[in-house]
Amino acid sequence: MADVTTAYDVRDIEYLRHGDKPLLARLYRPRGAKPVPLLVECHGGGWCANDRFAERLRHEGLASHGVAALALDFRSGDEAPYPASVQDINYAIRWAKQHADELGTRPDWVGLSGMSSGGQLAMLAAMRPYDARYAAIELPDGSSAFDAAVPFVVLSWPVINPLSRYRYAKRMAGLDDPPAWAAPIAVRHETYWRTEAAMAEASPVLMLERGEVVRLPDAIYFQAREDALHNYRDPDSPFDGNEPYRFVADYQAAGGRISLEHVDLPPHTEHSPDMSGLGDAFAAMAAFVRRHAQ
């Protein structure tokens, strides 16, 4: 498989429908190269905002380096709380495997990717592919019996511990001069998760620390050092380091393979980050995926 594919095609596909509302996915597929690995892409936005268009630069970067990206719309916290979005993502993985030939991939080459809250959803779906709550939406009659397990996951500064991030935002909102992002972030947590118990139950960090039996697909974790929303320390944890390092340590201790890669990302707190300078990171993401699709 070539290291770089400069040409790719883009199209929208309906992958699921809730009542009269279609859920679309935007496929970025390298041209003339079949099959290629595919990442089911979960957008960020605090579980309550954004759509399949929000992280276009990453999807274009992946496609230009030989990896197809299937950028999902899924139910947001404003319309349905946890676990609705995870159900849509679990279904999308199985749907992508069912339609692998049409998408230009193979069922065993379908992975997951996500940014910020989407990174948390991607890791959660990858660790619990057989959870009956998440797999509640059945494929159409006559479909093959594909499951939602994936061999690899690409994470971009995920909210890897929703509970600790919620408490962090609440602490910051209580300061005499609170940052503008703190209160809205806390509200988004409350809108989607509803309770701290749900945040803890679906925290990839706490799942590992509780000793939950989960799948541990190969993963790569991209994180900016100067990132107030994702790279912080949880004072309720004995771990002497910030949350990205805590998760990586837990994942490795549980037997999983994961690498933590640092990126140069401009600080962002009230808007989506500027990803225009992350070309090298996109190339690294694609190289990681391609190594798992030989």
Q: Strand 258-263's sheet: what is its strand order?
A: 8-18, 21-30, 68-72, 38-42, 110-115, 152-156, 218-224, 258-263
Q: Residues 267-276: pLDDT tens digits?
A: 665 567 777 7
Is residue 42 within 8 Å of 121, Cβ to Cβ?
A: yes
Confidence category of residue 70, pLDDT binned at 50, 70, 90: very high
Band (71; pLDDT cuts 50, 70, 90): very high
pLDDT digits 0-9 by tens, 4-14: 657 999 999 99
Q: Output the average pLDDT for the chain.
A: 94
| pLDDT value at residue 1 | 39
CATH class of the domain at 8-291: alpha beta
Two tokens, residue 276:
């225009």
At 279, the pLDDT band (50, 70, 90 cuts) reads confident
pLDDT of residue 2: 44
pLDDT at 294: 80
Q: Which pTM value belongs to this model?
A: 0.96
Overall average pLDDT of the 37-64 stretch: 96
Domain segments of the chain as ranges: 8-291
| C-beta contacts of 201-204 below 8 A and 24+ residues apart | 202/82, 202/83, 202/86, 202/124, 202/162, 203/160, 203/161, 203/162, 203/163, 203/164, 204/120, 204/123, 204/124, 204/127, 204/160, 204/161, 204/247
Confidence of residue 32 (pLDDT cuts 50, 70, 90): confident
